[in-house]
Amino acid sequence: MHKFSTALLVSSLLFATPAMAGADHDHGSGGHSHAHGPVSGDVAAMKASNKVKSMVASGKLDKSWAGVKATGVSQKTFGHDPEWVVTFKNPKISDASKQTLYVFFTLDGMYIAANYTGN
């Protein structure tokens, strides 16, 4: 019985360690950083395009946004932290104030937010 208990203890520690190691890792949006470092503007644009598609699929954006390509990628500083800002323009939207969509990411590629104001 002792060998079984020891094997059970060892296997539970082996399987528990990865979960416990990641338990305090923040996967939320914004405010956290990975050791991977900054992503390029091209990667930010790709991530933003994927986010727009996801927002269309979830009904947060009109279906006409699905095929819209990024028209600009830049770094802007809001507060203390620089961010990637990826811009999309959709002339199919009748409300002119909602034809330009801005998608924000941390420099290491974590999604922050999207809006029509760019702020």
Name the residue ranges covered by the structural domains of the chain. 41-115
Reduce the DSSP state of residue 113 to 3 states and report it. Answer: strand
pLDDT above 60: residue 70: yes
Q: What is the pTM of this model?
A: 0.70
Look over the chain and give the mean of its residue pLDDT values, rounded to a whole number. 78
CATH of domain 41-115: 3.10.450
pLDDT above 90: residue 19: no
- CA–CA distance from 108 to each of 1, 12, 85, 90 (Å)? 50, 34, 13, 27
Residue count of the chain, please give it. Answer: 119
Give the closest residue to 115 by CA, choosing from 52, 42, 67: 52
Q: Lay out the sheet containing 111-115: strands in order across.
A: 70-78, 81-89, 100-106, 111-115
Q: pLDDT value at position 78?
A: 87
